[in-house]
Amino acid sequence: MPALTRHIHPGWLIIAPLLVLVMALYLGPILNILWLSVTDPEPGFGNYAKLGESDALIRIVWTTVRICIITTLFSVTLGYSIAYAMVHCHQRQKNYMLTLLLVSFWISILVRTFSWLMLLGRKGLVNVTLEDIGLIAEPIAFMRNELGVLIGMIHYMIPYAVLPLLVSMQSLDMRVMDASRNLGASGSQTFWRIYLPLTTPGIVASTLLVFILSLGFYVTPAVLGGGKVLMVAEYISVQLLVTLKWGTAAMLAAIMLMGVLAMLWVMSRFMKLSTVFGGAAR
Amino acid sequence: MHDKQFMKETLQDSAHAYKEGRMDRRTFLALCGASGVALNAVLAGDAEAAADHVVMWNWGGQSEECHGSAIGDAFTASTGKGLKFDTSGPLEGKIKEMVDSGNVTADVADADLFNAVSLGPTGHLEPIDYSVVSKDKTLPGYALEHGVSVILYGYAFVYDTEAYGDNPPQNWADFFDTAKFPGMRSLYKWANGSLEAALMADGVAGDALYPLDMDRALAKITSIKDNSLYWGSGSEAHSMVVNGEVSMGMVWQNRGRNIENDTDGRYKLVNNQALAMPGAYIVPKGNPAGAAVMQFIATAQEVPAQLALLDCLGMTPSNPAAFGQIPDDQQDYAITSAKNIDKIVYNDPDWWGKNGGDAVNAFLEAIS
């Protein structure tokens, strides 16, 4: 036993049950998916070859990636200004803002999605008001198209973007900014050359979080896209439940998984990912 | 296999004993645990279902109440067995997954007849026992080896009387004519019905639809793509119309009356050229209640059940004996009523069962 503990830290014993659970309940099904993608309907890489043969599949993947990039861009930018405002206002106001943020975080995605329809739909509050005061003759098509999907997704993702940024900004040593001003830099110079670079880990963290979560969006595109914005998650569900092409579904799931892993790997080339996830930069 | 059957019977007996108080709960559960068969049913929380219930797998909402009153009560009266529900929606993939996993918890699924064509030959369904269920109590061609049509629902459309009141649209050709009838349209997202409507609009006769000419249908669909939305559920179809998002909307005919009521008659149902879809009862392979479910299906075929389903859910009878008894206030809405039956066309479950998957994908790719 002493020989064993010399090589294996006893701490592992405490986390062993968790590790076993994760292996059994998470890795198992993932391996099963990967296996399905090369065995259904017949063994081989036929499902993956479809990506090269079918324009439609490529288009669906591209639509997904495009929407996720735009969503991430807007969510992180808007999230940055919200987090900035929260860090730099009075404690009281900060608490109000944090409460509002968390409340929207907790509201079901379905409720938030359908609220947008009531607000921005063809007969929604905004269109009806604009028509009544005579600003527009025809309702503006905010919803049931790609714009609608983006509005719904960005709105849903902003709290996810804010939280990592908030943590990153709160941990900054503000004396550095004072020093910068003291040395003659203007306010905007200090922001662009000191503040922004110091919050990079927060930006990367919220970008990764928002992008990866966006890839799996299902409800929002299905409802707000009016059936014409087809993203990977919805397509996978149709292949599983309606058309019974489980191999295609597994292939797309595997592609998404590998895409995310590849993204993390590329990121790790440029920076220490541990700083993004809250570790110390060494 | 033999052992399995034996255990199942033992368990059914003990379930009766447990219900009547001759066996305590712990012994009963221990017996369940000892048998591999019913362990699943115990895990699912309704061990008794194995013995004296039939579990119906439907789509929830109103259907739970309606299936209970229209079929369940009569079934219980004649057999003494109860009716329970799983309301998670028996999509084809879910049925396949349930049977493949060996954890079959449902006896009868409220599905489409084309599901019987695609899942039957792959061994996922029990054959229908036509010594109990009647082939004459449904339309000809709708009593298949692995499923029987119990109701019909139709792909029809509603239109805005304020927009087209003077010259209302009559058929699918008008539905697809956005020059003559300007405005938005809504269609079903998973191809079914939408493809047939497009072909009829393009001039194909209702009795010559199958095999579907996919290229021709998709060309017609994409011709109104900019003016159309697509719905994935009955409630979404309903809300697109009621919220005024479309001037003409394809709907399931059984929703027609509710839409007319909810819009105070502003939207009106057109059943001309409605596509009759055979809604079918199918039985997952290895269902817990065994052969008893066939009696349930037979009960659903009877005229009183057929008329009760029409009254409660708006589902149209498929038993020809019930056609003549459709009440006056349902004549406009039921697609097999004397008023509508000569104007409708019929879905071919065989074509959909064999080609449905590819058709759905081609359709999704065309509209996205």
Q: Mean pLDDT in runs of 10 for chain A (282 residues)?
A: 68 88 88 91 88 88 96 97 94 93 89 92 91 90 94 95 92 91 92 93 92 92 92 94 93 93 85 66 46
- Predicted confidence at residue B1, as pLDDT, reads 38
Per-residue pLDDT of B299-332, as tens digits, reads 999 999 999 999 999 999 999 999 999 999 999 9
Per-residue pLDDT of A139-195, as tens digits, reads 899 999 999 999 999 999 999 999 999 999 998 999 999 999 999 999 999 999 999
pLDDT at B276 over 90: yes
Please report residues of A whose CB lies closer than 8 A to that of B367. Answer: 227-228, 230
Please report residues of A whose CB lies closer than 8 A to that of B364. Answer: 230, 235, 238
> Is residue B128 within 8 Å of residue B294, measured between CB atoms?
yes
If you measure CA to CA, which chain A residue comes closest to B355?
A243
Rounded to 5°, the CA angle A125-A128-A130 comes to 105
Place of tokens 């389903």: B309
Torsion of CA B1, B2, B5, B7, to 10 degrees: -110
Place of tokens 């449905």: B356
Per-residue pLDDT of B27-83, as tens digits, reads 665 655 555 544 444 444 444 445 589 999 999 888 899 999 999 999 999 999 999
Interatomic CA distance for residues B114 and B6, integer angstroms: 34
Looking only at the bridges linking them, the beta strands covering B316-317 and B147-160 are antiparallel
Instruction: State whether residue B94 sits within 8 Å of chain A by CB.
Output: yes
Mean pLDDT of B326-339: 95
Interatomic CA distance for residues A147 and B145, integer angstroms: 48
> Is residue B38 within 8 Å of residue B15, measured between CB atoms?
no
> What secondary structure letter does DSSP report for B68?
I
Instruction: State whether residue A50 sits within 8 Å of chain B by CB.
Output: no
Residues 215-234 of A with CB under 8 A from B: 222-223, 226-230
- Predicted confidence at residue B2, as pLDDT, reads 45
Per-residue pLDDT of B245-260, as tens digits, reads 999 999 999 999 999 9
Helix (H) / strand (E) containing B53: strand B53-57
> What secondary structure letter does DSSP report for A90?
-
Please report residues of B whose CB lies closer than 8 A to that of A63. Answer: 368
Domains and CATH numbers, chain A: 50-276 (1.10.3720.10)
φ, ψ for residue A230 (rounded to 5)? Answer: -100, 115
Euclidean distance between the first and the last CA atom of chain B, given in angstroms as a whole number: 48
If you measure CA to CA, which chain B residue comes closest to A246?
B93
Preferred mutation among A61, A144, A236 to probe B, highest tally of B CBs within 10 A = A144
ipTM of the complex model? 0.85
Mean pLDDT of B135-149: 96
Residues 247-306 of B with CB under 8 A from A: none
Interatomic CA distance for residues A146 and B354, integer angstroms: 33
Mean pLDDT score of chain B? 90
Preferred mutation among A241, A245, A248 to probe B, highest tally of B CBs within 10 A = A241
Instruction: State whether residue A24 sits within 8 Å of chain B by CB.
Output: no
Residues 55-114 of A with CB under 8 A from B: 56, 59-60, 63
- Predicted confidence at residue B218, as pLDDT, reads 97
Please report residues of B whose CB lies closer than 8 A to that of A229. Answer: 368
- Predicted confidence at residue A7, as pLDDT, reads 74
Domains and CATH numbers, chain B: 2-151+280-323 (3.40.190.10), 153-278+337-362 (3.40.190.10)
